């Protein structure tokens, strides 16, 4: 069997799957060929390119079977918590209670892409007055109406305040349709004033102590609500254990990111790395399996790096990617054009940084929630991006606009200007809708131009 | 006297005035957007004009921005990088039912007070604050009482004048009565209106309607609750905070059930027959309420979106209002 790392199509995966199966690879209960997900309607899979490792197969299968896990959890009598917007904080708390499982209904924003608009979720959102001027996360509204993509949660928790207006407005629309929501406030993170006690947050930001205390008070409210739902006490011991487990996930991801972004040859493609990062947010409804999946992927990556193997050509342009893409295929497209990902800021870096283990757990989680890049200013966010550009040696920044997202109108300008003030590297801003097929030539041309610019810059530096 | 500019109704003018500074709520002008942002896709026209106005303002000594909407929150990032004017970002919580959120709002007022003091203001005594609050409260009461005797435009202008010129300098004295045109009772609902948008009131009257409820941010909906006169003397800051934070109902609140409760009461008491919903393109907070309002109100709703000012759009809006009122007649 040929084990040279490369990116392959779904057709090639059919053959590859049979080979791997014959070779006796371990497959978890949710394992199987990737093609079966196409039969469920995930037609975009036919157009993607995948890493050809067994670890990637497990990653994809884990991602694409989350709905079944949620239904299984409900059948087993566990309560389902729908956590919205905070991207990483509440699930750490929920998974500390054995009979709770948490997921992000926000994740429905990828359904229009994965099902190539076949699910009709955006049309439902349209009919509810949430049209295409909103972020594609409006698909979530359709998913709640159809009840076809996830079980309706027993409890919905949504952070508001310093969040994007799209999400807040869509969540309110859902609430107006009769879905109860537990709202909690995340204030805009600001710098401490001279007379205030400053707290250094995970990830390098700082905030006044009073803001940490405020967020802690909000998390205490959530804790009480989770306890009521679970019928169990969320003790400090349980929270501390939950934080330690979440940190295990984050350490695996840190290892994956470091190798993927700094190895001479790119060891894991952008798409699989994006999915791996997403797992940190809510563990894809199975915390322990998330650790197993990431561990296997990290082992594969490590062995490739040690063997000097990669999935892309040497010399690929090193791109820092800002914001997640609504169309997963664009991550492939970047690589097809001669780029590789060397640095990411997909809106949830706070879910990647380790949570302090030497603090009272709710205070540690409050610090983490306040470290959310979207909670602070675009200037803060740009500073963090600059730190990572330096760390990963990125040669260009690509800001991927999310159609209709309230934060995208102004933040790209601020981030782009600050990056260019600090580094002599190109910055490109593109908009990525859920399905880019009709604008693929335009996106491709722009990506090619960016990569040509990077390579021309390298040439200039040489002479 | 130093001037502090702002637009958000959750910024209490009384608090600025009590510091010995002049609160000046901006009436934005369609024609003064920041040219660098003119072609920015996805940017709310109101925010664009706000940035333009602040950048070009030569009379102000400070600007207050709030976190009530995400684009305004991010406009602050642009201002601190591009503008010399001292700027303050006030955290106004979206949630309002918990003690912690109310406490946060009060803490933010105190922090705003420190900012105002740095700009040359004086930290007010309780008595000084209560005196200013009383003046504003009396002016608001007078304006509200005059509503039935003023044209909708004059009523809106009286509110704007209060927050631009102060309680003692309103040029359109609400005590001077005028014959108000009667017509089909309409409510206008939405975010803030800009200067030129006041023409809408004339268009509505010329088309046979009368705005009996100005539920825009710059209208009656943006007014704080009346002050409790006894508490005003005992705990003026607490009373100020409650009247503004709890008293103003907005689409941005979570949950925003208070807005609908307020609308229900006003729509019923003023026998509203139709609703004009005015919103800016890319304003998600209000846009998301259109369909809900249609389902909820059982009244005809005309949804007017605006991307900025131009003659074609003005004409189109006027035609749509005429058609809407013809339908209601």
pLDDT tens-digit profile, chain B (329 residues): 999 999 999 999 999 999 999 999 999 988 766 667 777 889 999 999 999 999 999 999 999 999 999 999 999 999 999 999 999 999 999 999 999 999 999 999 999 999 999 999 999 999 999 999 999 999 999 999 999 999 999 999 999 999 999 998 765 554 555 556 689 999 999 999 999 999 999 999 999 999 999 999 999 999 999 999 999 999 999 999 999 999 999 999 999 999 999 999 999 999 999 999 999 999 999 999 999 999 999 999 999 999 877 778 889 999 999 999 999 98
Two tokens at B312? Answer: 């074609």
pLDDT value for A462? 77
Q: Left if phi > 0, otherwise alpha if psi is -120 to 50, otherwise beta: which for A41?
A: left
**A172: which chain B residues are within 8 Å (Cβ-Cβ)?**
251, 254-256, 288
Residues 6+ apart with CB under 8 A from B34: B48, B51, B52, B55
Q: Do A187 and B93 touch (CB under 8 A)?
A: yes
**A217: which chain B residues are within 8 Å (Cβ-Cβ)?**
100
Question: Which among A134, A217, A411 is the nearest to B74, CB-wise?
Answer: A411
Q: How far is A34 from chain B (nearest CA, A)?
A: 37
Question: Which among A128, A133, A378 is the nearest to B74, CB-wise?
Answer: A378
Chain-centre distance for alpha carbon A220: 26
Give CATH 3.40.50.11890 domain extents, chain B: 3-118
Fold of B3-118: Rossmann fold (3.40.50)
Cβ pair B64, B8 in contact under 8 A: yes
Q: Does B171 touch chain A (CB under 8 A)?
A: no
Give CATH 3.40.50.11900 domain extents, chain B: 177-328
Of A186, A14, A172, A158, whose CA–CA distance to A81 is shortest? A158
Chain A residues 199-218 with CB within 8 Å of chain B? 210, 214, 217-218
CA distance A135 to A408: 10
SS3 A139: helix
SS3 B97: coil
Q: Does B284 touch chain A (CB under 8 A)?
A: yes
Rounded to two decimals, the pTM is 0.96
Q: Which CATH number fits domain B177-328: 3.60.15.10, 3.40.50.11900, 3.40.605.10, 3.10.180.10?
A: 3.40.50.11900
Residue to mutate among A140, A383, A410, A415, with most B CBs inside 10 A, is: A410
Interface size between A and B, measured as CB pairs under 8 A:
142
Two tokens at B84? Answer: 């010399």
**A156: which chain B residues are within 8 Å (Cβ-Cβ)?**
none
**B44: which chain A residues are within 8 Å (Cβ-Cβ)?**
409
Q: Does A372 touch chain B (CB under 8 A)?
A: no
pLDDT value for B32? 65
Bridge partner list, A345: A322
Two tokens at A227? Answer: 């306890």
Residues 6+ apart with CB under 8 A from B282: A133, A404, A406, A409, B42, B43, B44, B45, B71
Q: Do A409 and B43 touch (CB under 8 A)?
A: yes
Q: Do A165 and B291 touch (CB under 8 A)?
A: no
Q: CA angle A425-A430-A433, nearest 5°?
A: 155
Two tokens at B7? Answer: 């637009």
Q: Does A162 touch chain B (CB under 8 A)?
A: yes
Q: Does A183 touch chain B (CB under 8 A)?
A: yes
| Alpha-carbon distance values, B151 to B157, B161, B166, B189, B190 (Å) | 10, 15, 21, 17, 19
Q: Any idea of the CA torsion for B229, B66, B99, A195, to the nearest 10 degrees? A: -100
Q: Give one DSSP letter per residue of A410-440, joined into a string.
A: HHHHHHHHHHHHH----EEEEE--S--GGGH
Q: Any idea of the CA torsion for A119, A123, A128, A131, to the nearest 10 degrees? A: 120
Q: Give one DSSP letter per residue of B125-193, joined into a string.
A: PHHHHHHHHHHHHHHHHHHHHHGGGS-HHHHHHHHHHHHHH-TT--SS-TTS---PPP-EEEEEEESPP
| Alpha-carbon distance values, B67 to A71, A188, A279, B88 (Å) | 38, 7, 30, 11
SS3 A101: strand
Please give the residue of chain B at the shortest CA–CA distance from A418.
B81
Count of C-beta atoms within a 10 Å radius of residue B122: 12
Please give the residue of chain B at the shortest CA–CA distance from A130.
B288
**A407: which chain B residues are within 8 Å (Cβ-Cβ)?**
70, 74
pLDDT tens for each residue of chain A, 463 residues long: 678 999 999 999 999 999 999 999 999 999 999 999 999 899 999 999 999 999 999 999 999 999 999 999 999 999 999 999 999 999 999 999 999 999 999 999 999 999 999 989 999 999 999 999 999 999 999 999 999 999 999 999 999 999 999 999 999 999 999 999 999 999 999 999 999 999 999 999 999 999 999 999 999 999 999 999 999 999 999 999 999 999 999 999 999 999 999 999 999 999 999 999 999 999 999 999 999 999 999 999 999 999 999 999 999 999 999 999 999 999 999 999 999 999 999 999 999 999 999 999 999 999 999 999 999 999 999 999 999 999 999 999 999 999 999 999 999 999 999 999 999 999 999 999 999 999 999 999 999 999 999 999 998 877 7
Cβ pair A320, A360 in contact under 8 A: no
Q: What secondary structure, in 3-state letters, does A147-211 show? A: CCCCCCCCEEEEEEECCCHHHHHHHHHHHHCCCCCEEEEECCCCCCCCCCCEEECCCCCEEEHHH
Residue to mutate among B8, B46, B83, B254, with most A CBs inside 10 A, is: B254
CA distance A162 to A85: 10
Per DSSP, chain B holds a count of helices (H) and strands (E) of 13, 8
CA distance B170 to B167: 6
Q: How far is A166 from chain B (nearest CA, A)?
A: 6
CA contacts within 13 A on the Cβ side of B126:
10
CA distance B252 to B66: 12
Cβ pair A10, A34 in contact under 8 A: yes
Two tokens at A246? Answer: 């979440």
SS3 A319: strand
Q: Does A406 touch chain B (CB under 8 A)?
A: yes
Question: Which among B44, B94, B284 is the nearest to A185, CB-wise?
Answer: B94
Question: Which among B75, B78, B288 is the nearest to A170, CB-wise?
Answer: B288
Q: Does A407 touch chain B (CB under 8 A)?
A: yes
The two most distant CA atoms of chain A are separated, in Å, by 69
């Amino acid at each position: 069997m040929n084990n040279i790392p490369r990116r392959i199509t779904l057709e090639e995966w059919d053959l590859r799957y049979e080979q791997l199966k014959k070779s006796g690879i371990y497959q978890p209960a949710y394992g199987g060929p990737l093609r079966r997900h196409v039969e469920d309607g995930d037609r975009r899979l036919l157009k993607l390119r995948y890493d050809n490792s067994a670890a990637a197969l497990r990653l994809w299968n884990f991602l694409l079977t989350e709905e079944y896990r949620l239904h299984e959890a409900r059948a087993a009598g566990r309560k389902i918590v729908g956590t919205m917007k905070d991207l990483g904080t509440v699930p750490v708390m929920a998974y500390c209670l054995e009979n709770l499982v948490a997921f992000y209904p926000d994740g429905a924003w990828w359904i229009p892409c994965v099902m190539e608009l076949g699910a009709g979720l955006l049309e439902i959102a349209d009919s509810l007055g949430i049209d295409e001027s909103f972020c594609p996360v409006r698909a979530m509204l359709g998913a709640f109406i159809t009840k076809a993509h996830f079980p309706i949660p027993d409890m919905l928790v949504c952070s508001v305040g310093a969040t994007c207006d799209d999400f807040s407005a869509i969540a309110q629309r859902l609430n107006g349709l009769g879905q109860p929501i537990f709202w909690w406030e995340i204030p805009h993170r600001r710098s401490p004033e001279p007379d205030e006690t400053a707290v250094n947050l995970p990830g390098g930001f700082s905030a006044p102590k009073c803001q940490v205390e405020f967020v802690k008070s909000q998390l205490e409210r959530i804790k009480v609500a989770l306890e009521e739902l679970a019928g169990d006490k969320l003790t400090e011991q349980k929270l501390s254990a939950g934080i330690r487990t979440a940190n295990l996930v984050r350490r695996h991801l840190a290892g994956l990111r470091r190798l993927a972004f700094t190895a001479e040859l790119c060891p894991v493609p952008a798409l699989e790395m994006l999915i791996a990062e997403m797992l940190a947010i809510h563990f894809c409804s199975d915390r322990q399996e998330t650790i197993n999946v990431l561990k296997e992927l990290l082992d594969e990556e490590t062995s490739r790096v040690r063997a000097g193997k990669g999935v892309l050509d040497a010399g690929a342009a090193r791109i820092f990617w800002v914001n997640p893409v609504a169309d997963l295929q664009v991550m492939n497209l970047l690589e097809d054009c001669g780029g590789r990902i060397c640095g990411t800021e997909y809106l949830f870096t706070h879910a990647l940084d380790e949570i302090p283990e030497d603090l009272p757990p709710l205070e540690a989680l409050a610090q983490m929630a306040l470290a959310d890049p979207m909670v602070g200013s675009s200037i803060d966010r740009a500073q963090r991006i600059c730190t990572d550009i330096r760390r990963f040696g990125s040669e260009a920044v690509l800001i991927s606009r999310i159609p209709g997202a309230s934060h995208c109108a102004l933040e790209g300008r601020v981030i782009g200007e600050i990056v260019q003030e600090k580094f002599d590297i190109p910055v490109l801003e593109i908009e990525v809708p859920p399905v880019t097929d009709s604008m693929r030539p335009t996106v491709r041309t722009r990506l090619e131009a960016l990569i040509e610019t990077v390579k021309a810059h390298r040439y200039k530096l040489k002479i | 006297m130093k001037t502090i500019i702002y637009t958000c109704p959750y910024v209490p003018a009384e608090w600025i005035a009590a510091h010995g500074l002049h609160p000046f709520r901006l009436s934005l002008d369609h024609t003064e957007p920041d040219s660098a942002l003119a072609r920015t896709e996805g940017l709310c026209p109101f925010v664009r004009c706000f940035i333009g106005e602040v950048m070009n303002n030569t009379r102000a000594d400070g600007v207050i921005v709030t976190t009530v909407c995400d684009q305004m929150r991010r406009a602050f990032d642009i201002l601190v990088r591009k503008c010399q004017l001292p700027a303050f970002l006030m955290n106004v919580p979206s949630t309002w039912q918990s003690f912690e959120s109310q406490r946060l709002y009060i803490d933010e007022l105190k922090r705003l007070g420190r900012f105002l003091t740095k700009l040359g203001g004086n930290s007010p005594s309780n008595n000084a604050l209560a005196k200013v609050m009383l003046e504003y409260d009396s002016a608001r009461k007078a304006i509200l009482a005059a509503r039935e005797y003023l044209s909708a435009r004059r009523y809106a202008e009286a509110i704007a004048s209060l927050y631009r010129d102060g309680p003692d300098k309103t040029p359109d004295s609400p005590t001077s009565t005028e014959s108000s045109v009667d017509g089909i009772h309409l409510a206008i609902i939405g975010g803030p209106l800009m200067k030129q948008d006041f023409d809408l009131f004339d268009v509505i009257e010329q088309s046979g309607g009368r705005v009996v409820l100005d539920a825009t941010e710059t209208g009656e909906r943006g007014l704080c609750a009346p002050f409790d006169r006894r508490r005003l003397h005992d705990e003026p800051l607490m009373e100020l905070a409650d009247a503004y934070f709890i008293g103003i109902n907005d689409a941005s609140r979570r949950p925003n059930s208070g807005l609908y409760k307020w609308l229900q009461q006003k729509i019923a008491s003023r026998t509203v027959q139709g609703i004009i919903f005015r919103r800016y393109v890319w304003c998600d907070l209000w846009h998301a309420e259109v369909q809900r309002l249609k389902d909820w109100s059982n009244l005809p709703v005309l949804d007017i979106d605006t991307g900025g000012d131009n003659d074609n759009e003005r004409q189109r809006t006027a035609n749509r209002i005429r058609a809407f009122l013809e339908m209601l007649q």
